[in-house]
Amino acid sequence: MKVKELLFDYINPDIDYQIKKGDSLTVLGKIEDGKFDLILTSPPYNIGKSYETKTSIEKYLETQEEIIAELVRTLSDRGSICWQVGNYVDKGEIFPLDIYYYQIFKKYGLKLRNRIIWHFGHGLHASNRFSGRYETLLWFSKTDDYIFNLDSVRVPSKYPGKLHFKGPKKGLPSGNPLGKNPSDIWEIIQQDWDNGMWNIPNVKSNHPEKTDHPCQFPVELVERCVLALTEENSWVLDPFSGVGSTVLGAIKNNRNAMGIEKDEEYCKIAKQRIKDFNEGKLKFRPINKPIHKPAANDKIAKIPKEWLELEHINGNGKSNGLNGKH
């Protein structure tokens, strides 16, 4: 069956977007001061992924500081940097990267506005420590006069019928008709904004946005930052853009965007994703979609019979948690 020609492009023709192949430090050196209202990225974690070379944490941070200096220079006076990181692990010891990065950003005069927890329900399982199920996003502003569009990210009030109980407004609604001010823990828009932890699924094999990149950034995470911290037609940058999720989240919301990526294959994937989006073929996880929870009678939620048999065989007073004993 022949597909009908699109009546319009999904990308606003007035929006500029670029995927630049190259080293971040080299490309940034050619960009003018103050260009970007938002710099949003997830830098390499120095854990030996296919796209990075693992070094000592000291050398890793030294290299990152060179790039951060250039990012601060290219950030507008009303701009923000959102830096999403996890942990560096060396011989089983955890080094929380956000703590190390905080000191670098403060050295360049930036001000931390929020330390956001991104929680996800699935990931690698650990055997010698608790399995990690969160990463952090540090939101810094360059000045005190920063872009923050509260109305773009308000959530429904928990008690919209609450009234003022005294004063000149007694008896009138005490909230905002557009919704309440969100906090710094999010769980899918209204739940997430309520308690400061963003419960957004990470991009694993069954995620609609999954590509060949091993540590892919969900577009949903991007959009929340873009809507709150930029204006339409602002410029957004991702200096480690991978397969282009930040660029997609920006142009999807009428922002100009630039992604810098040294891996040629990832650049190709990013450009193809943008092309697919413009043709209406790219799949996204909706920003307000609840996280799937299996029903009690779903096969995946039932205890395997092998485990039940094991519990019966082991009947030695010890519990593995299957019979409700503690």
| pLDDT for position 64 | 95
* Residue 316: both structure tokens together: 């030695």
| Global confidence as pTM | 0.75
Residue spans of alpha helices (H) in 130-240: 190-195, 219-229
- Condensed to tens digits (0 to 9), the pLDDT of residues 41-84 reads 999 866 554 445 567 888 889 999 999 999 999 999 999 999 99
| pLDDT for position 231 | 97
Q: Are 163 and 153 in contact (CB under 8 A)?
A: no
CA 291 to each of CA 29, 81, 132, 162, 182: distance values in angstroms, whole numbers, following the listed order: 41, 27, 18, 29, 19
Name the pLDDT band for 102 (thresholds 50, 70, 90): very high
Rounded mean pLDDT, 195-206: 46
Name the pLDDT band for 326 (thresholds 50, 70, 90): very low
* Residue 86: both structure tokens together: 């996890």
Burial (0-12, 13-18, 19+ Cβ within 10 Å), 95: middle
CATH 3.40.50.150 fits 17-293, yes or no: yes
- Side chain identity at residue 51, one-letter code: Y
Domain range summary for the chain, segments of one domain joined by +: 17-293, 297-326
